[in-house]
Structure 1
Amino acid sequence: MSLQEQFDQAASNVRNLKSLPSDNDLLELYALFKQASAGDADPANRPGLLDLKGKAKFDAWHKKAGLSKEDAQKAYIAKVESLIASLGLQ
């Protein structure tokens, strides 16, 4: 299975976890997914002051700047596998 196929499978599996991951885990998943899908975050697109959730998500993604698509995919897959091990799948 190619890395892209593994990444796609992990993205599918994350929707079927038995319970919702912690906020920190969700931010990590979001950041890795965005880095793998869209590359580095553009600081000019940071959400406004009142969008706390959007800012947290953007900041988590922005911290992944410089991480290659492949490395982000591998980290995302590993994170999902870790969550599956701790939370299980439905």
Structure 2
Amino acid sequence: MTDINAQFVQAQEDAKQLPERPGNLTLLRLYALYKQAIDGDVHGDKPGFTDIVGKYKYDAWAALKGTAPDAAKQQYVELIEALKSGTAA
């Protein structure tokens, strides 16, 4: 396992231990980075207007199209570290 993969796995565990729940926009960012890191570019049909949460998740993930999985993992790790230290919004 490469170093970034180990850091990514650790960040996923750390996310469960955060001192306070992040805001919705931060949660969307974490979701999108995670999906990009694991599944690559967005795929599947965009949810309809009745699925508001699904639509926002899809759009957040689609915004990362073309981001390399390792880059998404690195950004995820950095965001979790910022949340742990209280320096992220």
Same fold by TM-score greater than 0.5: yes
Q: CA deviation at 1:65?
A: 0.3
Identity, in percent, stands at 36
The aligned counterpart of 2:65 is 65
Runs of 4+ in 1 over 6 A off after TM superposition: none
Provide the C-alpha distance between the structure 2 equivalents of 1:82 and 1:76, rounded to a whole number of angstroms: 10
Unaligned regions of 5+ residues in structure 2, if any?
A: none
SS where residue 86 of structure 2 aligns? helix
Number of equivalent positions: 86
What TM-score does the superposition give when structure 2 sets the normalisation length?
0.91
The aligned counterpart of 1:19 is 20
RMSD over aligned CA atoms reads 1.3
* Residue-by-residue CA offset, 1:7-35 (whole Å, 9 max, x unaligned): 00001100111111011100000000000
Higher relative contact order, structure no. (Cα contacts within 8 Å, ≥ 6 residues apart): 1
Q: CA deviation at 1:2?
A: 1.2
